Amino acid sequence: MSSSAPFDLIAAARMSMVEHGFEPDYPPQAKQELAELQAHPPQPPAGITDLRHLLWSSIDNDTSRDLDQIEYAETLPDGAMRVLIGIADVDAYVPKGSAIDKHAGIETVTVYTGAKNFSMLPDQLSTGLTSLLEDQDRMCVVTEFTLDKNACETESCVASSRIYPALVNNKAQLAYSSVGAWLDGKADPPPKMAASKELQAQLQLQNEIAQRLRLERFRHGALNIETGEVLATIEGNEIRLDSDHKDSATELIEDFMIAANGVVARTLQEHRISSIRRVVRTPERWDRIVAVADGLGYKLPATPDSKALNEFLLQRKKDDPDHFPDLSLTIVKLLGPGEYVLERPGDPPQGHFGLAVEDYTHSTAPNRRYADLVTQRLLKAMIAGQPSPYSDDELAAIAQNCTTKAAAERKVEREMQKRIAAVAMHSRIGERFRAIVTGVTPKGTFVRTITPHVDGMLIRGQHGVDVGDRLQVQLVRTDPQRGYIDFVRA
């Protein structure tokens, strides 16, 4: 579905960024540092492990240029499987306390608005010098782990692990859509893979390992969620509304990153280093989750239980796959957002309810998340035998700011998705749609249409509905400037 954009959506995105506390323009000193980095980029230190000979590859969105991670896997002589995940060494270019770092610490995240990306780091770094682009030698921090060769007997499936700096070279920059279609048996391999049997074998091995990691997480209660989110984007003068969906490629990367983040969290814990953790607390609206399940003929325990919840989700996916994204969206809304917290040595782990893991931090995207850059500095200091570069008070303040900005990021992206969608939906005023209630707040009742997935407000007929209810709605108004899409109950 497409429509011509009637007003300046990029200007609207910038306005939204500023309104929600972001500073989209880099200060002069940061620009000076960038010019110096471009003229004299940092060189790899002497003695760094050289892994450029390995068949590294990356999988990301078709248009992504800010590549944070690359992957490689191998089967060892004893039958065990080893995974290496290379994370871009952003700290080598953006040292703590630099002007670029201070600006990144304010922003904390790259915001993808659909109209324009507002990068945490200058694009010349995040999509250039610090991006793991194809055929470019890059410095990395490698998280390496070996799976138990017999079975996943531990909570994490990981038998051993280590973290170290290395020099790498991305041999194949791949895209989710084409790799996923191939792994799922729906399409031929993309050209780069068709030309290399070795690369095909590499991705098949990675997929096999990812499936083992995923099954183990599900066994411990990780949630199988598929919300079918719609991504509204501008391509030239056209607007596209595309449903986001999981496939084997997206799940592969997700599983590898969750495993790597777990290794990092446990490593910092074992070395008694304070760190920033990403947690999703036990859901406060568990009673409503129980009610939703009850309405579908399924009994959940009265106290929060992620394993029981996932068994319910798996059953519903089997029984009613068409409506599973609607149910997933309801559960996500009722679980609530995650947050960043300080974890000191000896603190009881707070865990991540949705992932069913106790040890979880963010470490795999330092080009686009500040918490990951901070974690990278903690790791590099640990590897070098140096004291932590951050005090507990600094980490607590950074965690709080990252949580605040993550909430602001969601607001900006939601506003812009609605603005772009309002433009695309303007010609469909008067039409009726199936919808699901996604929010009931003092500000109003919100719904998402099923096809296409578009969020809006229910301005009439909202009495007595709650999150998860399904109903028929009619589109009555769009206001692209304000991002309003208004429905009435049909």
Same-domain check for residues 376 and 319: no
The per-residue pLDDT for 154 is 47
Phi and psi dihedrals of 471, rounded to 5?
Answer: -155, 170
Please determine, for residue 57, whether its predicted confidence score (pLDDT) is greater than 60. Answer: yes
Cβ–Cβ under 8 Å, residues 329 and 280: no
Residue 4 has pLDDT above 50, yes or no: no
Confidence at 241, pLDDT banded by 50, 70, 90 = low
pLDDT on residue 5: 43
pLDDT tens, position by position, 293-314: 998 899 998 888 877 888 888 8
Residue 344 placed within a domain: no
- The answer to the question of residue 347 being in a domain is no
Q: Are residues 26 and 54 in the same domain?
A: yes
> Per-residue pLDDT for 236 more than 80?
no
Based on the domain organization, do 291 and 230 belong to the same domain? no
Q: In this structure, is residue 169 part of a structural domain?
A: yes
Residue 293 in domain? yes
What phi and psi, each to the nearest 5 degrees, are found at residue 127? Answer: -110, 10
Mean pLDDT of 212-239: 69
Residue 149 has a pLDDT of 67
pLDDT value at 218 more than 80: no
Tokens for 5?
A: 């954009």
Statement to judge: residues 312 and 174 lie in one domain: no
Q: Is the dihedral of CA 118, 119, 123, 128 positive or negative?
A: negative
Mapped onto helix, strand or coil, the DSSP state of residue 74 is strand
Give domain status of residue 351, yes or no.
Answer: no
> Are 303 and 437 in the same domain?
no
pLDDT at 373: 98
Q: How many domains does the chain have?
A: 3
Residue 1: the pLDDT is 39
Same domain, 180 and 95: yes
What is the average per-residue pLDDT within 427-456? Answer: 90
CB atoms within 10 A of CB 337: 12
What's the mean pLDDT in 87-100?
98
By mean pLDDT, which of 108-117, 144-153, 237-246 is the weakest?
237-246
- Residue numbers of the domain that contains 268: 9-272+362-419
CATH number of the CATH domain containing 464: 2.40.50.140
Give percent of the chain above pLDDT 90. Answer: 61
pLDDT confidence band for 287 (50 / 70 / 90):
confident
Asked whether residue 460 is assigned to any structural domain, the reply reads yes
Summarised one tens digit per residue, pLDDT across range 95-144 is 999 999 999 999 999 999 988 999 999 999 999 999 999 999 999 999 99
Statement to judge: residues 319 and 192 lie in one domain: no
Q: Which of 325-334, 404-413, 450-459 has the lowest mean pLDDT?
A: 325-334
Answer yes or no: do 304 and 385 share one domain.
no
241 and 177 in a single domain? The answer is yes
Most confident region among 234-248, 318-332, 350-364 by mean pLDDT: 318-332
| Rounded CA separation 363/360 (Å) | 9
> Is 352:279 a contact under the CB 8 Å cutoff?
yes
Residue 138: count of CB within 10 angstroms of its CB: 23
User: For residues 295-325, b (16+ Cβ closer than 10 Å) or e, as one string?
Assistant: eeebebeeebebebbbbbbeebbeeeeebbb
- Within a domain: residue 354? no
Distance CA 206, CA 249 (A): 10
Do 259 and 294 lie in a common domain?
no
Residues 247 and 307 reside in one and the same domain: no
d(CA 106, CA 426): 36
Q: Is the pLDDT of residue 244 over 70?
A: no
* Residue 315 pLDDT: 86
- Of 128 and 231, which is predicted with more confidence? 128
Question: How much is the CA Rg of the chain, to the nearest whole Å?
Answer: 23
Q: What's residue 351's pLDDT?
A: 65
Same domain, 194 and 322: no
Can you tell me the distance from the alpha carbon of 254 to that of 258, in angstroms, rounded to the nearest whole number? 6
pLDDT at 2: 40
Average pLDDT, the chain: 89
> 278 in a domain, yes or no?
no
